[in-house]
Amino acid sequence: MDIESAIKFPTEDEKWIGKILIGGIISLIPIVNLLASGFYLKTMERTINRSSGMPEWEGWGELFIKGLVAAIICFLYLLIPMIVVIVAVVMVGGLASTVTADTFANIFAMFSAIIIGGILAIIFGFFIPMAMAMYVSSNSIGNAFKIGEVISRIKSTLGDYLIAYVVIIVLAIVLSLIGSVPILGWIIAIFGSFYISVVAAKMFGDIYTASSA
């Protein structure tokens, strides 16, 4: 995988600055930010279809629907981790509020369950990029939940898949550190987050193309 080329990918579009600015602003608005998610999937779709550059900001209805489907896919894949955390907080938190001799043990159990939920989120989240690629390649949400094929495709390109996953996480961490800087850092983080998401869409679109079921 050519990481440098993937990171530079958005800048190859002659309108890239305007597209990133629009995407960053849209990403800030609840519900409307589904358009940004749709843009990522449209970028992934173009990559799979071997079209160059980012998509245009047009076909708003299609972008919104793709973004909504992306949200549904993420929600369903992360449902188990969310249930683990919610149950832990509600049940163990309720016990801890009684302030018994076991309060410390209850709080420890609650945080342990939250940590386990976080680990499960990472594990389940690992499959989401390939699931998204399977959705956009066929325009069928059902394909995103063909778990056997998702795993098979990841296994066939495991090295590149891991590299892409780690690179995106590292970029996100760096961006979050930059975002801690008042004003300027926040501005960079807003548009940088959209930029990184486009890069991720490109990376995993290429990986899907190289994968086999």
Per-residue pLDDT 10s for the chain (213 aa) are 788 899 999 999 999 999 999 999 999 999 999 999 999 999 999 999 999 889 999 999 999 999 999 999 999 999 988 887 787 677 665 655 555 555 666 667 677 777 887 888 888 899 999 999 999 999 999 999 999 999 999 999 999 999 999 999 999 999 999 988 888 898 999 999 999 999 999 999 999 999 998
**Domain coordinates of the chain in residue numbers?**
3-210
Question: For residue 197, what are the contacts with CB-CB under 8 A and spacing of at least 6?
Answer: 36, 40
Residue 117's Cβ-side half-sphere holds a number of Cα atoms within 13 Å equal to 18
CB atoms within 10 A of CB 112: 12
Residue that is written with structure tokens 């778990």 in the block: 147
Backbone angles phi, psi at 102, to 5 degrees: -95, 15
Is 166 exposed, middle or buried, given 0-12, 13-18 or 19+ CB atoms closer than 10 A? exposed
156 contact partners, CB below 8 Å, separation of at least 6? 211, 212, 213
Give the pTM: 0.87
